[in-house]
Amino acid sequence: MRQPLGIAVIGAGMAGRAHAAAWRAAPTAGTTELPPVELVSVCDIAGDLAAATAARFGYARHNTDWHDIVNAEDIDIVSVVVANSLHREIVEALLAAGKHVLCEKPLTDTVTDAESMVAAADRADSLARLGFTFRRAPGLAAIKDFIDDGTLGEVQHINAWYWTDYACSPTAPMSWRYKGELGSGALADVGSHLTDTVEFLAGPIQKVSGGRFHTAITSRPLPLGHVVGHDHAEVSDEFEPVGNDDYAGFGVEFPTGSGSLQVSRIAAGHPNSLGVEVFCRNGSAAFDFRHPGQIVLSRTTDGSGGTGLTTIQLGPDHPYIADGLAMAAPGVGVGQNDGFVFQARAFLDEVAGHSEADSLPRCAHFSEGLHALRVRDAVIDSASDNGTAKEVPA
């Protein structure tokens, strides 16, 4: 293994900055020994944005052409954090060049492209993994442990939502997020996180039903400059139609039960509210990302539910905190930025050849991203067929 391991990030927007910062902090999260890392480049077609992000997070240089990252001999690990439609071309080129790739979710735009990316990952000698950061939330990880060790037991019913408000304003500028067909909007953007959260806890989604979409803001003004993440920007008086969904809802069936899911990018007052309630054989649990340092737990020992709900403050006894946070104490804040750090550390552990038993849980495989797209397509099919139930291919 070449040392130091050179790291680059392609994409300098909101999530790109999160990846850039995470690689810098990742060696401090965890206890296994890692080879030294070098922060080499941040790449973005917007050169000023790439330069500013590289300087902010301590990268040696910036690039404006992703091909330069593919061809760079001093780069070994690359985060791909660009528009979904660009993932396939970039990722496949990086893998062919022998780079280790951590791709931001969703895997891509279409099942066909995802299948090609899975095949490329299977052929590659390097690692190809997918970023689902909410898996790294200590509360969700703790709930999964309670399910798996029998404290809660198998999931019988689940209620989950991901409400955001970044698209509430009709003056939010047009960007790639608002282009495409129904299913490529809120469902693909925040819904990919939500379906992965449900599958993380309850197992693979096998059927969906009741699919429905709504687009509340049907046109948006064109921006006069760069649009970074969900940020607003100066806009012109020219508008472009919105092609995809502001809201999506659907029911799901998984191996041991069923549930309901909702996603929105127009939920006023909810900048980033992912929540999940699981009702299990031996009790229930709930997690709300607005209160990321706690979970709510109920354990039923006599079948009556009389034990009630208990709020538990997360601490060193729960996943990620003891070795992941510098101040590992009950009640100390943990949030979404930490999830990117844990994710990067897990990827570094795998690149370094550490066993899964000695590492943070592995990042998702591309095949899991392919399955998430098949769930999305089943929701689209259901919505176009008056909510009829649709099977999700394995």
pLDDT at 82 over 80: yes
Per-residue pLDDT band for 334 (boundaries 50, 70, 90) equals: confident
Alpha-carbon distance 61 to 80, whole Å?
17
Cβ neighbours around 312 below 10 Å, total: 16
**Coil vs helix vs strand at 344:** helix
pLDDT band at 233 (very low <50, low <70, confident <90, very high): confident
Give buried/exposed letters for 166-194 (b at 16+ CB in 10 A, else e).
bbbeeebbbbebbbbebbbbbbbbbbbbb
**Which residue type does 92 have?**
E
- Strands 273-280 and 155-163, by their bridges, are antiparallel
Q: What percent of the chain has pLDDT over 90?
A: 85
Q: Does residue 304 surpass a pLDDT of 60? A: no
pLDDT at 155 over 90: yes
Q: Strand, helix or coil at 15? A: helix
DSSP characters over 124-187? -SS-EEEE-GGGG-HHHHHHHHHHHTSSS-SEEEEEEEEE--TT-STTSPP-GGG-SSTTSSHH
* C-alpha dist (Å) from residue 203 to 200, 227, 283, 371: 6, 36, 18, 12
Q: Which residue has the higher pLDDT, 261 or 31?
A: 261
| Residue 348: pLDDT band with limits 50, 70, 90 | very high
The per-type count for the chain, helices as H runs and strands as E runs, is: 11, 18
pLDDT band at 300 (very low <50, low <70, confident <90, very high): confident
Determine the pLDDT at residue 230. 66
